[in-house]
Amino acid sequence: MAVARKIVVAIRKGGSGKTTTAVNLAGALMLLGKRVLLVDLDSQGNATRAMGVDREAITLTVRDILAGRAINVKDAVVSKAWNQYAQDQSLDVLPSHEKLGNTEMGMAVQTALAQLGMGDDPVDAMQSIAGLLKIFETSYDYIVIDTAPNPGPLTLAALSAGDDMLIPYELGAFNDDGLVHAFKTFREVQLNSNPNLTIHGILFTKTDNTLFSKEEVDSMDQYSGHIYPFRVPRRTLYNWANNNGVPAVVARPSDEATQPYMQLAETFING
Ligand SMILES: Nc1ncnc2c1ncn2[C@@H]1O[C@H](COP(=O)(O)OP(=O)(O)OP(=O)(O)O)[C@@H](O)[C@H]1O
Ligand SMILES: [Mg+2]
């Protein structure tokens, strides 16, 4: 049986475009006829909101599944359609919860206590996320996972169970160690828990038409083999779309600003 390809969007740096990338990649894959599940693993719930999931429509969240409170985990999935833009197309969202961070912290504490021979059996983040993805993987072509900016147990668990790591990166932020850290995390996960994980690529987000200094260009040299040949431009369209609960690529599929996400989706489909 075919199983979904699991794409984990991750980088520790806040505001680099993880959520926007996860939401628009999921939307672009939907437009291309694929069965898609977006999993929101960030307690901020930004992906859940950006998909326009109505709070009222949320009965269960990923947190309930991890805490063993969902009897039928598939009940937690919310189907989203944007019929004014994409008729007869939809994708599924597994929403987040603001207290997911507590669950994550609780998992870390329980694991530490269990290692000291204290406390109950720990809820293992690795096993919980792997188990969750196993349940869903036969129902979709792609599972796109949005992660939190802190590289906590849930992000590591998603990478441990994933196929591809996708790194959104805001060009011009060269002086931070976001990419260094992302590659370090990748190598650790690959070595310790998931030899099959690959870095699918680095996506430059929120780009302007500015020229970069020689130092900036040189500092990217070591990553050049991983950088996609397309970049996402900085456009207010993305803020508008995120605030209006529709992926920009679904609302404006022919706009030049959203083409990079269509190309990204095609890259996944073709290779
Ligand atoms: N291409 C773009 N053009 C303009 N604004 C953008 C673009 N991509 C993302 N943004 C905006 O930048 C902000 C941060 O983006 P986003 O939420 O996707 O980043 P993030 O990495 O998920 O952040 P966090 O680390 O907090 O989860 C948001 O306000 C979003 O609307
Ligand atoms: Mg985010």
- The CA distance from 228 to 210, in Å, is 18
- Res 145 pLDDT > 70: yes
Angle, helices 125-137 vs 153-161, to 10°: value is: 40
Mean pLDDT for the chain overall: 90
Query: Ligand 1 center to residue 90 CA distance, Å?
Result: 23
Q: Return the pLDDT at 237.
A: 98
Beta pairing, strands 36-40 & 142-146: parallel
Say if ligand 1 is within 6 A of residue 235 CB: yes
- Nearest-CA residue for ligand 1 atom 11 is 239
pLDDT tens-digit map of 224-235: 899 999 999 999
Q: 19 alpha carbon to ligand 2 midpoint, in Å?
A: 4
What is the four-CA torsion angle of 5, 271, 247, 253, rounded to 10 degrees? Answer: -150
User: What pLDDT score does 151 carry?
Assistant: 80
- Cβ of 119 closer than 6 Å to ligand 1, yes or no, is no
Cα–Cα distance between 60 and 270 in angstroms, integer?
Answer: 34
**Res 171: pLDDT:** 76
The reply to whether ligand 1 has any atom less than 6 angstroms from the CB of 206 is yes
Give percent of the chain above pLDDT 70: 94
Q: How far apart are CA 9 and CA 159, in angstroms?
A: 9
Mean pLDDT of 112-135: 76
pLDDT > 90: what percent of the chain?
66
pLDDT tens figures, 16-34: 999 999 999 999 999 999 9
pLDDT at 172 over 80: no
Q: Which of 238, 243, 259, 261 to mutate to test the pocket of ligand 1 (most atoms within 8 A of CB)?
A: 238
204 close to ligand 1 (CB < 6 Angstrom):
no
Minimum-distance ligand 1 atom for the alpha carbon of 242: 31
Superfamily for domain range 5-270: P-loop containing nucleotide triphosphate hydrolases (3.40.50.300)
Distance CA 64, CA 54 (A): 18
Per-residue pLDDT tens for 178-202?
Answer: 899 999 999 999 999 999 999 999 9
Please report, for the chain, the start and end positions of each structural domain, with discontinuous segments joined by +: 5-270
Q: Please give the pLDDT value at position 124.
A: 72
Q: Whole-angstrom Cα distance, residue 176 to residue 180? A: 9
CA distance 140 to 143: 7
Ligand nearest, relative to CA of residue 234: 1
Ligand 1 pocket residue status of 15, Cβ below 6 Å: yes
Taking phi over 0 as left and psi of -120 to 50 as alpha, with beta for the rest, 13 belongs to: beta
Q: Is 18 in the pocket of ligand 1 (CB under 6 A)?
A: yes
Q: What is the pLDDT at residue 118?
A: 67
Dihedral sign, CA of 74, 4, 267, 89? negative
